[in-house]
């Protein structure tokens, strides 16, 4: 089902598989239309089905990433790139190793940088030098975070080093042996990079995202729910499965 809710285009799909096929198709359409497109990429379990489908489309000769440039939203800091929980590792595993994107065109905040402040500034400059993001893909945290822009007192514009929310550490601990192993900090792009993207595609799957999706679309615009700022962006598409959309209709 397709509808507009509070000025946001929303697709509500039956299940995760349909959501993944739809989001991959939107990304493919963008790359077909603008081969040198600058994609803002996200990680997390929600994106795995989308990347699987993009890999399938690429192997079937239906999408060409040879001119695509990508910037990931965020990365734990510090973490070894070789760690199987780093987003560097995730992106290679789920997408980069299986499509023809050029390694030099892919960018992820450097989780092994000596100085995180310098890394944040350099990352931001690189995005600006590429003219910003054409299509920004987003997942959403149970607490409404986008990238690792955590709930707080202000929307932070610039790329920054962030202490992860307790709820994020808990949610992400499912990927680690135990909660203590989850990195406590990360580097994330700020709201400026996200809000100046020409288009935004946000994906949400599962019951745990229902409240965050409701607040994102219908709630007050507040840094307590970081994704609520998307109400101010002119070109946002949200794809939710039935569970994540449960409170919408």
Binding site for ligand GLP (CB under 6 A): 42-46, 73-74, 139-141, 147-148, 168, 172
Q: How many CB atoms lie within 10 A of CB 245?
A: 25
In the bound state with ligand GLP, the residue whose beta carbon lies nearer, of 74 and 134, is: 74
Laid out side by side, the sheet with 185-188 consists of: 74-76, 185-188, 160-163
Question: The dihedral of CA 31, 34, 38, 39: what is its sign?
Answer: negative
Helices (H), the chain: 16-33, 48-59, 87-94, 116-129, 166-172, 191-195, 210-218
CB of 60 to ligand GLP, least distance (A): 26
In the bound state with ligand GLP, the residue whose beta carbon lies nearer, of 11 and 90, is: 90
Q: Which residue has the tokens 């919408």?
A: 248
Contact 93, 52 (CB under 8 A): no
> Which residue's Cβ has the minimum distance to ligand GLP?
139
Query: Over the range 102-112, which residues count as b (16 or more CB within 10 Å of their CB) and which as e?
Result: eeebbbbbbbe
In the bound state with ligand GLP, the residue whose beta carbon lies nearer, of 168 and 237, is: 168
Q: Which residue has the tokens 């219908």?
A: 218
Which residues are CB-neighbours of 18 under 8 A, at least 6 positions away? 241
> Whole-angstrom Cα distance, residue 180 to residue 194?
30
In the bound state with ligand GLP, the residue whose beta carbon lies nearer, of 31 and 182, is: 182
Do you find a cis peptide bond into 200, omega within 30 degrees of 0?
A: no
CB of 100 to ligand GLP, least distance (A): 25
Residue numbers annotated as active site: 74, 143, 145, 150
In the bound state with ligand GLP, the residue whose beta carbon lies nearer, of 67 and 199, is: 199
CB of 185 to ligand GLP, least distance (A): 12
């Amino acid at each position: 089902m397709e509808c507009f809710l509070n000025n946001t285009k929303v697709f509500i799909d039956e299940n995760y598989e349909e959501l993944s096929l739809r989001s991959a198709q939107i990304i493919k359409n963008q790359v077909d239309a603008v081969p040198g497109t600058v994609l803002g990429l996200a990680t997390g379990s929600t994106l795995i089905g989308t990347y699987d489908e993009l890999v399938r489309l690429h192997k079937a000769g239906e999408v060409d990433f040879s001119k695509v440039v990508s910037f990931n939203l965020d990365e734990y800091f510090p973490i070894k790139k070789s760690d199987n929980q780093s987003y560097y590792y995730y992106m290679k595993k789920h997408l980069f190793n299986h499509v023809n994107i050029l390694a030099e065109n892919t960018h992820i905040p450097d989780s092994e940088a000596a100085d995180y402040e310098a890394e944040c500034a350099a990352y931001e400059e690189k995005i600006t030098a590429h003219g910003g993001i054409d299509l920004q893909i987003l997942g959403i945290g149970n607490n409404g975070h986008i990238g690792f822009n955590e709930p707080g007192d202000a929307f932070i514009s610039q790329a920054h080093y962030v202490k992860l929310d307790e709820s994020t550490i808990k949610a992400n601990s499912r990927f680690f042996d135990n909660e203590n192993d989850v990195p406590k900090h990360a580097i994330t792009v700020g709201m400026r990079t996200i809000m100046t993207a020409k288009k935004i595609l946000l994906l949400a799957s599962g019951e745990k995202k229902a409240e965050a999706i409701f607040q994102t679309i219908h709630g007050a615009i507040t840094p307590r729910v970081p994704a609520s700022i998307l109400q101010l962006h002119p070109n946002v598409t949200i794809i939710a499965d039935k569970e994540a959309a449960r409170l919408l209709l």
